[in-house]
């Protein structure tokens, strides 16, 4: 009897809660389909340095509830060069890896596309990033957990902000995308939300704070996406100082940072990761590569990887308007 076909699975780029749930689904679905699975350690580095681990059913027990990634993750410069990709493809072939599930963001998908086209290894991408900034999907693995973590943190900040009659400027993650900022901002009742998709207008923000202050509002939450803060010298600290200087309201800045990338994945992340991981295995089982799996209107979908990389996604600005209208 011929050996079972073998697929690999790796996590790449920034980690996201739910990546373990995706790994689990890939391993279990593949084994049920008669395939063997190798975990590739530390993203594309593992392909270049032959760092593979056999994954059996029980090796992915007890991980569905854990944040981070049991396969570790990394950014790999060598993989951006043709020589690195060819070496990775060669190593896959030597290890018998015929297909690969790549869990990561857009950058990781570009790598997957190159490995398919230059190296002849069928790859399927799964969207894993807290930023929700992958165009072909409404939803990325890790996004829901990150928003809930940010919301919990800001709720705690509100307690102290309220007790001191202060303004809390909270910086959330999202270098290029304002999804976390917009949704968290709405969920915590922020007075103002600054997202990378809209040019930051200091006067507009100060005007809102001053107007509400003059009508008796005493404490404020301002949510700023990392991408906005990065473009301002002094970042969130400077925004807080400006608020204090102009309005007289004592202000503090808090950068939530990498805490948003950790923790137990929510139900939504675990379910999305499982359903999308399952689809990735179905594709590879059918010998189909060069695809990215996503979720649209609650349905699991898949696209040609080039098509997926060219799609554009817009932050829902109507939601931004709602947030603005209900803030005070
Ligand atoms: P993300 O996948 O979260 O977008 P990165 O952009 O850092 O994260 O990409 C992760 C890894 O994917 C990179 O370190 C690199 O190994 C690989 N990668 C990124 N861009 C490319 C590219 N254009 N060609 C080949 N590989 C790439
Ligand atoms: O995972 C997404 C993200 O958190 C971005 O919002 C942020 O810009 C980036 O990753 C930072 O990643 P790192 O600190 O690992 O370079």
Whole-number Å distance between alpha carbons of 97 and 4: 11
Starting from the CA of residue 260, give the closest ligand.
2
Q: Whose CA is nearest to atom 12 of ligand 1?
A: 108
For residue 328, the model assigns a pLDDT of 79
Q: What are phi and psi of 10, to 5 degrees?
A: -140, 160
Whole-number Å distance between alpha carbons of 210 and 249: 9
Q: Whose CA is nearest to atom 12 of ligand 2?
A: 14
Q: Of 119, 149, 121, nearest to 9 (Cα)?
A: 121
Q: Identify the burial level of 325 via C-beta atoms within 10 angstroms of its C-beta, where 0-12 means exposed, 13-18 middle and 19 or more buried.
A: exposed
The helix (run of H) or strand (run of E) holding residue 293 is strand 291-296
Q: Which pair of structure tokens corresponds to residue 61?
A: 């027990």
| pLDDT tens digits along 176-223 | 999 999 999 999 999 999 999 999 999 999 999 999 999 999 999 999
**Ligand 2 nearest atom to the CA of residue 260, by list position:** 4
Q: Are 14 and 291 in contact (CB under 8 A)?
A: no
| pLDDT tens digits along 276-317 | 999 999 999 999 999 999 999 999 999 999 999 999 999 999
Angstrom distances, CA of residue 61 to CA of 28, 56, 64, 70: 10, 9, 8, 11
| 11 ligand 2 Cβ < 6 A | no
Q: What is the pTM of this model?
A: 0.96
Report the residue among 111, 133, 313 best suited for mutation to probe ligand 1: largest number of ligand atoms under 8 A from its CB: 111
Starting from the CA of residue 173, give the closest ligand.
2
- Sequence-separated (6 or more) residues with CB below 8 Å from residue 61: none
Residue 81 scores a pLDDT above 50: yes
Antiparallel, parallel or unpaired: β 167-172 and 192-194:
unpaired
For residue 93, the model assigns a pLDDT of 96
Calculate what percentage of the chain has a pLDDT beyond 70. 99
Q: Are 137 and 167 in contact (CB under 8 A)?
A: no
* Crossing angle for the helix pair 202-214 and 235-247, to the nearest 10 degrees: 40
pLDDT band of residue 96 (cuts 50, 70, 90) is: very high
Residue 1 scores a pLDDT above 90: no
Q: What is the mean pLDDT of residues 225-231?
A: 98
Q: What is the mean pLDDT of residues 112-124?
A: 96
For residue 226, the model assigns a pLDDT of 98
Residue 2 scores a pLDDT above 90: no
């Amino acid at each position: 009897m011929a050996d079972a076909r073998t697929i690999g699975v790796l996590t790449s780029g920034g980690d996201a809660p739910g990546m373990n749930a995706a790994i689990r689904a890939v391993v279990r679905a593949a084994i049920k389909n008669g395939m063997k699975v190798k975990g590739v350690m530390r993203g594309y580095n593992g392909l270049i340095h032959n760092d593979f681990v056999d994954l059996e059913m029980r090796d992915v027990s007890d991980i569905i509830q854990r944040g981070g990634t049991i396969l570790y993750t990394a950014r790999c410069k060598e993989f951006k060069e043709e020589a690195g990709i060819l070496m990775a493809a060669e190593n896959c072939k030597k290890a018998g890896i015929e297909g690969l599930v790549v869990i990561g963001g857009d950058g990781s998908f570009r790598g997957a596309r190159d490995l398919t086209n230059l190296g002849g290894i069928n790859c399927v991408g799964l969207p894993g990033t807290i930023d929700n900034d992958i165009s072909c999907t409404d939803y990325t693995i890790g996004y829901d957990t990150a928003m809930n973590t940010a919301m919990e943190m800001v709720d705690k900040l509100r307690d102290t902000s309220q007790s001191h009659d202060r303004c809390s400027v909270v910086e959330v993650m999202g270098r290029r995308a304002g999804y976390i900022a917009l949704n968290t901002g709405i969920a915590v009742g922020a007075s103002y939300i600054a997202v990378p998709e809209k040019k930051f207008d200091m006067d507009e923000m100060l005007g809102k704070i001053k107007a509400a202050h003059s009508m008796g509002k005493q404490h404020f939450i301002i949510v700023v996406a990392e991408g906005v803060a990065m473009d301002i010298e002094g970042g969130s600290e400077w925004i807080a100082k400006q608020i204090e200087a102009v309005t007289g309201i004592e202000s503090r800045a808090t950068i939530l940072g990498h805490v948003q990338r950790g923790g137990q994945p929510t139900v939504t992340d675990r379910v999305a990761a499982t359903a999308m991981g399952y689809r990735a295995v179905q594709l590879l089982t059918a010998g189909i590569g060069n695809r990215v799996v996503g979720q649209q209107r609650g349905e699991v979908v898949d696209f040609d990887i080039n098509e997926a990389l060219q799609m554009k996604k817009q932050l829902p600005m109507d939601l931004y308007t709602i947030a603005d209208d209900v803030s005070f």
